[in-house]
Amino acid sequence: MGIGNFFRRFGSQNQLFLSVLTQQATYLLHASAALCEMTETMDPVRWRKLEREIKACEVQGDALLTEFHEQLFEVILRKIRRSDIQNIAMSIDEFLDNINDSAKSIPLYMPKRLDSQIVDFAQYIHAEADSIKKIMLLFGDIKKNYAQIAIQCERITELEHAADDTFAEYIGYVFTHESDPIELMKYKNIAETFEAATDAAKRISDTVRKIILRYQD
């Protein structure tokens, strides 16, 4: 579906921005699932195919965000501030960019192996994307869904903390056990890219937390 047609499908203002955020989250979920697949194979051909899939999601997300910004300032939003919606949309786009960077890092560095910690990072990222999709589906009625949204935000925080622990453990592991300095730097750089993606997801949940606090009363 073309971006213009996507926007024309939705008449109400609230339905418009919710549909955009939900579509962004769908791209996140697709891209993060492909990233998980990348970490489960050592086939460079498969890596490149999955990388292209993730890049396509990132490109579609960028196009959606560009038109979203144009549409956002042509409508009057009730209850939720324009700046709030813009911040969420931009944070989701940043997370998608980080997933794309993570995907590029594997065929770029061509590591001899992908350790279990890298697989774990991809799983964390996919789980965070799943929570973000759930949040966007609940966002239509923040007051009613406050508790459920807060639970998903907490889940993202827990996943980000788990990723921090995994990163610290993994860096210690590769510096202790990897004797090849070139391979060591490959593993370190890949891990840093994946860990940055988990941080980007937490920035989305932090933004959502600030918004829902205003709707608690």
pLDDT in tens, 193-209: 999 999 999 999 999 99
Mean pLDDT of 167-183: 96
Nearest Cα to Cα of residue 36 among 162, 128, 112, 108: 128
Cβ proximity of 147 and 123 under 8 Å? no
Nearest Cα to Cα of residue 190 among 112, 73, 86: 112
> Which residues, 6+ apart, have CB-to-CB distance to 27 below 8 Å?
57, 58, 60, 61, 64, 96
Give the model's pLDDT for residue 7.
39
Cβ proximity of 54 and 100 under 8 Å? yes
One of 1.10.12.10, 1.20.58.220, 1.10.1060.10, 3.30.70.1290 is the CATH number of 3-213, namely: 1.20.58.220
- Which segments of the chain does DSSP mark as H helices, in order? 3-8, 13-39, 44-72, 82-109, 116-138, 146-177, 181-213
d(CA 96, CA 75): 26
CA distances from 161 to 124, 129, 130, 158 (A): 10, 15, 17, 5
**pLDDT exceeds cutoff 50 at 117:** yes
Q: Which residue has the higher pLDDT, 213 or 42?
A: 42
pLDDT-above-90 percentage for the chain:
71
Residue 78's identity, in one-letter code, is R
Mean pLDDT of 186-196: 98
Indicate the pLDDT class of residue 142, thresholds 50, 70 and 90: confident
Mean pLDDT of 14-43: 90
Cβ proximity of 37 and 106 under 8 Å? no
Q: What residue ranges do the domains of the chain occupy?
A: 3-213
